[in-house]
Amino acid sequence: MSYPFDDLTNLFGQMKKVAVFTNEGSGALNAHSFVKPPEAKFFFFLLQGAGGGGGGGFTGATAVRRPGGGGGGGGAVLKVFLPAFLVPERMTVQGGIAGVGGAAGSPGAAGTAGGSATILSLEQSVFLTANGGGGGGAAGAAAAGSAGAAGSVSAFSRSHERGGFASGLTGGAGGAGAAASTTTAGAAGAAVVNYAGHGGGGGGGATTGNANANGGNGASQIATLLPTPSAVATSDGSNGATVFVPHLFASSGAGGSGNAAGTGGNGGKGGIGCGGGGGAGGITGGNGGNGGPGLVLIAWG
C-alpha cells in the first residue's frame, strides 16, 4: 500500500513532496517503484522496520503451570538526509512484512520476525535498510516465552556519507512472558526514544494453584497522543495504534492475560513498526499478536 502526499510544505521545512509506502493490510511483500523527480535538490528518507509477532501461550489443564509467550521486538528506524546527486535515479521500495503471532499450544509457537524496510537501487543492490524486530518466544511447559529481540540498524553504503547525514536507532525489545510460577505479570514492552519501533508486552499465565498472571503492557513514547496499550485481566491485550500528525507515531501490542479457568488472552497487535503482544496461558492458550508492518517515507524538495 502506498500513500502519496502533495504540497506538505510544513512537514519537513523545505520538503515539498512526500510519499509513504507500507505493507499494511497485506501478508505479501509489496515492491513499489520510485523514480527520482528531476526537480529534486535533496531528499529525506525514513525507514521503519516491521515489528515481530508475539509468541503463543501455553495450553494446559487446571493445576498445571501455563506460562505466557514473549512479546515481539520492535523494528529499527533509519533517518537519512542526502543531496539529490547521491540518490539513485530509480529505486525499488519495500515496506517490510509484519511478523506473525505464534499459535497457542503445548508448547506454543514462536512469533515470526518482522521484515526489513528496504530501498534497492536499479541494480537491486541495497541502498538503505532498517531491520525488523524479532519474534517473541513460545511458552513451554516449564518456561515462559523469551522476549523478541530488538531490530538492528543496518549501515548504508559509506559512499553516501560524503554529503549527507544519517542516524539510526534500534527497536525496543519485547517483554518476556509470565513464568506462571507466581502471579507476576508478563514484562512490559520496551519503549524507544522514537516515534515507533516499540516492543510488545509479554503474555500472562496461570499457576499450578490456578491463580492468574496478567500480561505486560505495550509501549508508547507519548502517552498523551497514543495511550499506552494495557493488559486486561483474563482478556486479550490491547492493540497498538498508528497516527500521522504529521510525523509517524505508533504503539505496541499488550500481552494477553492468563486465565486458569478458560481461554488465555490473545496478544494485541502492534502499530507500524511495533511488536505484537505475547499470548497468555490457559486451559486454552492465547495466540500471539501480529507485529506492525514496516514503512518507508521519502520526502524531497
Q: What is the pLDDT of residues 121-143, one digit of tens each?
A: 876 677 888 999 999 999 998 89
Name, of 7-21, 81-95, 265-279, the range with top average pLDDT: 265-279
The percent of residues above 90 in pLDDT, for the chain, comes to 59
Examine the pLDDT at 8 and tell me if it is beyond 70. Answer: no
Examine the pLDDT at 163 and tell me if it is beyond 70. Answer: no
Query: Strand 90-94 and strand 31-35: pairing?
Result: antiparallel
Entry pTM: 0.92
Q: What sign does the dihedral 125-130-134-135 (CA atoms) show?
A: negative
CA distance readout (Å), 113 to 59, 99, 133, 174: 23, 5, 6, 12
Please calculate the CA angle 268-270-272 and round it to the nearest 5 degrees.
160
Examine the pLDDT at 164 and tell me if it is beyond 70. Answer: no
Examine the pLDDT at 155 and tell me if it is beyond 70. Answer: no
Query: Across residues 190-211, what is the average pLDDT?
Result: 90
Chain segment 230-287, per-residue pLDDT in tens: 998 989 999 999 887 667 889 999 999 999 999 999 999 999 999 999 999 999 999 9
pLDDT given at position 4: 39
